[in-house]
Amino acid sequence: MFSYSKFSTIKISAITTSTSSKPRKKANKTAIKETLLTPRCYTTDFDEMETLFNIEINKNLNNDEFEALLQEFKTNYNQTHFVRNNEFKEAADKLDGPLR
């Protein structure tokens, strides 16, 4: 008798051998498990940001580099990266409430 399951499990394995004696950079990093339930999302750790960008805490902070970084954020290069034509504007205008 055939039983049907809504969910399937697929197992994939790969074996690679390296002929190089040099360690690979990716091999030293911890692998990140990405699934549909836990996508790779990034959040901001504001306490860590305070530690990194506070001149009193981080004496090695290069203020010129920091100002250049802030200016890059203000410029927002993504404004011209994505297509925002009339169709996009019309669709956006139809959104109301918390979706907008």
Q: What is the pTM assigned to this prediction? A: 0.31
**Domain range enclosing 76:** 42-88
- Residue 62 in any domain: the answer is yes
* Cα radius of gyration rounded to whole Å, the chain: 24
Helices (H) and strands (E) in the chain, counts: 5, 0
- Residue 95 in any domain: the answer is no
Chain center to CA of 52? 19
The total of structural domains in the chain comes to 1
pLDDT digits (tens, 9 = 90+) for 8-56: 455 555 554 444 455 555 555 566 565 656 556 677 788 888 888 888 8
- Residue 28 in any domain: the answer is no
Beta carbons within 8 Å of 100's beta carbon, 6+ residues apart: 92
- Residue 14 in any domain: the answer is no
